[in-house]
Amino acid sequence: MRIISRRTLQKFWADHADAEQPLKAWVAETSKATWRSMIEIKRRYPIASVIDAERVVFNIGGNKYRLVVKIWFPGRAVWIKFIGTHAQYDKIDVTKL
């Protein structure tokens, strides 16, 4: 999958050093992935939360952070829509991202 807006992740881990390695691991795995559906994502990440047909929330760093992405399966692209703490995540509407 092609990841769009990696810089968002880099900026985040610059402020949250403990998120750097988990995010780098997620990027490495996602870059190699060939997901064709949310079902495939749930098989690999059972605790990920599928929001709708395009959006999924990943738990990062032992569930300390939340990563919201929008996926375009036909184009094999993943857009980083949000990365933040649980408190920050609780203040957003993921369906609007």
What would the pLDDT profile of 15-56 be if each residue is shown by its tens digit?
Answer: 999 999 999 999 999 999 999 999 999 999 999 999 999 999
Average pLDDT over every residue of 65-78: 96
Which residues constitute the domain of residue 50? 2-96
Distances (CA, A) of 76 to 34, 53, 60, 79, 92: 7, 14, 22, 10, 26
pLDDT at 96: 87
Q: Is the pTM of this model over 0.75?
A: yes
Tokens of 23: 């995010």
Provide the number of structural domains found in the chain: 1
Say if residue 63's pLDDT is above 90.
no
Question: Is the separation of the CB atoms in 47 and 57 below 8 Å?
Answer: no
pLDDT at 15: 95
pLDDT at 88: 94
